[in-house]
Amino acid sequence: MVLASPPTPLFKGDLGGARLCYKRDMQLPITNYQLPITNYQERQMTQYTAASINTNSPVHNSSSFLEIENLFKSYKSADGSEFSVLEKINLNIGENEFISVIGHSGCGKSTLLKIVAGLEKQSSGMVRLEGKEIRQPGADRMMVFQHYGLLPWLTVRENIRLAVDEVLQSLSRADKISLVNEHLAMVNLTSAADKYPDQISGGMKQRVGIARALAIRPKMLLMDEPFGALDALTRGKLQKQVLDIWENHRQAAMMITHDVDEAIYMSDRIVLMTNGPAATIGEILSVPFSHPRDRQQLRESKEYYELRNYALNFLDRYFTQDE
């Protein structure tokens, strides 16, 4: 695919391994590879967007694993008024589906994830997992945080073992040891098993968190910007590692991200959020690439850039100066 020459940026920076240019009065990065979407491309994008999606109406699907139905979330303001964070959220996720949620800061992405995790309660609406309402945290949904959440006085092995001991109490000691060792190997941390968190890198710490989450065999993996605190090279490597693990051990996954490339590379569908307050789902894009995925092959495809540009243009439309 032949790319048009990008305009000369006012100044340049680096984020996520990609060369970026910025307008001085904007925070949103616009990549050198971004092309304007033509009318033809807009028509072609209908193959990626959910057909006739109405985000204000509940969507019922008997095959849905996770169901979010007409969800609202608001907080009380200091003056006693209601501050709306999320409105009319309707989303279904399949049992082996990888979903990314992307939008500007303040659009309620992390709040939505915490509601699914049971860490926060919605103001109204329903969230069900396998037909059962989610009312509290549970071992069937494990969260991977951006800032690791490891206990510094425990080794890598002990951080993973702690979760196994708490959730899988019926396992024998030998089975627990075997399970921990299996997940240490899965994230390539066997050689670092007896090190403490302050003795390993940020990427390794995040791998511990992922191993800990997967070791208790949850039904759903929840990730809140899991690669956001990592440098560009480590981030790309860990994205591939997590995707490889997911492709070999399929389960429902929901990931919050600000990175369009990350979302396309890893996801089956991408949920695009409108701005907050009172944010809702603007569009849902289907990613047309089969698994397993090769990042280089994706970047050489026309469909990749059409989808990428469509998502970036959506985010551009919802950019505001006072965000």
Q: Give residue 85's Cα distance to chain centre.
A: 19
d(CA 301, CA 303): 5
CB contact set of 205 (below 8 Å; sequence gap of 6+): 148, 150, 197
Residues 6+ away with beta carbon under 8 Å from 212: 142, 159, 160, 162, 163, 183
Least confident of 40-49, 135-144, 293-302: 40-49
Prediction pTM value = 0.79
Nearest to 195 by CA among 149, 147, 158, 234: 158
- How is 102-168 classified by DSSP, letter by letter? E--TTSSHHHHHHHHHTSS--SEEEEEETTEE--S--TTEEEE-TT----TTS-HHHHHHHHHHHH-
- Relative to beta strand 141-144, strand 252-257 is unpaired
pLDDT tens figures, 98-125: 999 999 988 999 999 999 999 999 999 9
Reported as a single tens digit per residue, the pLDDT across 169-214 is 999 999 999 999 999 998 889 999 999 999 999 889 989 999 999 9
Task: Tell which CATH classification among 3.40.50.300, 3.40.50.620, 3.30.1050.10, 3.20.20.70 matches the domain 38-140+218-317.
Answer: 3.40.50.300
What distance in Å separates the CA atoms of residue 232 and residue 17, rounded to the nearest whole number? 5
Domain boundaries of the chain, sorted by first residue = 38-140+218-317
Selection from 226, 297, 231, 304 nearest residue 261 by Cα: 304
Question: Quick one: what percent of the chain has pLDDT higher than 70?
Answer: 79
